[in-house]
Amino acid sequence: MSHKINDIIDQILNAPEHQLPSLKPLVDELVCQLCDITGIELHPAFFQDEHATETPCGKAVSMTTAAQCAEEFIRTQVFLRGVFQAIQDQLKTQDSIRILYAGTGPFGLLVIPLLHQFTPGKVQVCLLDIHQESLDALQKLIEILAVDGFIENQQCTDILQWPIEQQQPFDLIISETMKAMLDQEPQVSVFRHLIPLLKPEGELIPQKVQIKAWLTALPSYNAHDFYLGEIFILDCQQAYILNQQKTPFISGSLDIPESPEVYKSLKFTTDIQVYGDHWLTEYQCSLNLPRIITGANPKPGTQLKYQYEIKQYPKFIFDYQRGESFSIEHLPDYFELSDLGIPYLKRCWYKSQLIKQKQVTEDYLKEEYELDQLLFNTFLSDPKEGSSLLYMSCSMEYVEHYIVENFHAPDKDKKINDFKVSLKKILNRTS
Ligand SMILES: C[S@@+](CC[C@H](N)C(=O)[O-])C[C@H]1O[C@@H](n2cnc3c(N)ncnc32)[C@H](O)[C@@H]1O
């Protein structure tokens, strides 16, 4: 009897691409079915992820966290459709294929639910995960979906310790052991270790993970990001290069050009080519969340240097010279006017930048707390919003823009004047 999961998968595979965003209920139902079969509680009341395993090359997330990945409905659909396409393409040129699925989680989501589309004579799968409880859960699913005949091998092991010399090559090697920017999890090391097992015509999935650097005007007001260049591509070729290196080394640099004043923050994006036309791009799932270094302010004419550290917590680290920096000695006077003619605003924003650059502690702000509150209450809707706006804004230009957009006082001049009077009163009282 065909299981409900098979019907859901068929709908996901047959949907036109533009419909994927509307298929969340379908993916929710899929996840529900997978949890019912495996007995996994997806969101336990007290969840601290204590069952993750730290390896020397990154974190193997716990069974529960791995299961939660399935809920990312665009990720799930794009991976399923990409893997399906890859299997079909491989079968165009050969009668049967072997797939290595490294890091299955409890649902074996990227492969197991697709198997009903094929026959065991065509597709054989080797499954690896470091967590036995994930493989136990997966076994239940394999039985219910009656796909045992497809499973060549199932092993609880650290992929990075798996002896590849004893294995036959594979047509597809699939692993999703990553976060945005290849942070924290061992994707790079997994592909580096497994690449000798890929047949010459075989494919890694994802085919490509592409990390790019941008200058951005954050918080942005309709300004397009300013492209700096590519930081790193993880693909088949790169995996071979890394495999040849005794100690893997990833580093490089990009030029920082002259750019408009507002481009003060650095932004890094992670795009994933799962396979062929099946891409995951900015904001489609957690793997594509951009990393932003607010107020990084790299100096034009210098270089942004980067290096990928492969340690317990793999990550990119950056080195760059900062442009204009703020100093306490140059703090604007209380009555120095902003372009809008508002006193104290410049000083207040400048203080936020000093805190952001860690030149002063937050206590420094408290000394002028009453003045700050008065400013925020007068020109911004509330103090909380005001202080976070000033902290986030990398230029006075943005703060002023925000106030113009949000501060619709017909009696603007009177309001500014009243503010000035109150400011004087507080300063007289406190000095
Ligand atoms: C992010 S989850 C993805 C689960 C599933 N493949 C999916 O895409 O929904 C990563 C899985 O890889 C496993 N994993 C990560 N590093 C591993 C390692 N070094 N050896 C074996 N398994 C690992 C984790 O235990 C986890 O089950």
| pLDDT attached to residue 1 | 47
| pLDDT attached to residue 218 | 64
- Both ends of the chain: CA-CA distance in Å? 83
| pLDDT attached to residue 222 | 58
| pLDDT attached to residue 355 | 83
Q: Which of 130, 174, 191 to mutate to test the pocket of ligand 1 (most atoms within 8 A of CB)?
A: 130
Element housing 365 (H / E): helix 362-366
What is the rounded distance in angstroms from the CA atom of residue 177 to the CA atom of residue 188? 9
Q: Under CATH, which architecture does the 2-319 domain have?
A: 3-Layer(aba) Sandwich (3.40)
| pLDDT attached to residue 309 | 93
Beta-strand (E) ranges in 137-264? Answer: 151-156, 170-174, 198-205, 208-216, 226-234, 250-255
Residue with the smallest CA separation from ligand 1 atom 25 is: 60
Residue among 149, 151, 65 nearest 100 (CA): 151
CA 105 / ligand 1 centre spacing (Å): 5
Cβ of 130 less than 6 Å from ligand 1: yes
Cβ of 284 less than 6 Å from ligand 1: no
Residue with the smallest CA separation from ligand 1 atom 6 is: 104
For the CA of 103, the closest atom of ligand 1 is: 12
Cβ of 69 less than 6 Å from ligand 1: yes
Cβ of 80 less than 6 Å from ligand 1: no
Question: Is the distance from CB of 170 to CB of 197 less than 8 angstroms?
Answer: yes
Averages of pLDDT over runs of 10 residues in the chain (431 residues) are: 88 97 97 97 82 95 97 98 98 98 98 98 98 98 98 98 96 98 98 98 98 83 82 98 95 92 86 98 95 85 94 91 76 88 90 79 76 89 81 76 73 86 91 71
CA 273 / ligand 1 centre spacing (Å): 19
| pLDDT attached to residue 172 | 98
Question: Is the distance from CB of 168 to CB of 126 less than 8 angstroms?
Answer: no
Cβ of 106 less than 6 Å from ligand 1: no
**Sign of the dihedral through C-alpha 155, 161, 164, 166:** negative
| pLDDT attached to residue 394 | 67
What is the rounded distance in angstroms from the CA atom of residue 311 to the CA atom of residue 240? 20
Cβ of 186 less than 6 Å from ligand 1: yes
What are the residue ranges spanned by the domains of the chain? 2-319, 330-430
Cβ of 62 less than 6 Å from ligand 1: no
| pLDDT attached to residue 219 | 58
**Which is it for strands 198-205 and 250-255: parallel, antiparallel or unpaired?**
unpaired
CA 102 / ligand 1 centre spacing (Å): 7
At 216 the three-state DSSP class reads strand
| pLDDT attached to residue 411 | 75
Question: Is the distance from CB of 310 to CB of 277 less than 8 angstroms?
Answer: no
CA 280 / ligand 1 centre spacing (Å): 19
Residue with the smallest CA separation from ligand 1 atom 13 is: 103
CA 57 / ligand 1 centre spacing (Å): 13
Residue with the smallest CA separation from ligand 1 atom 24 is: 60
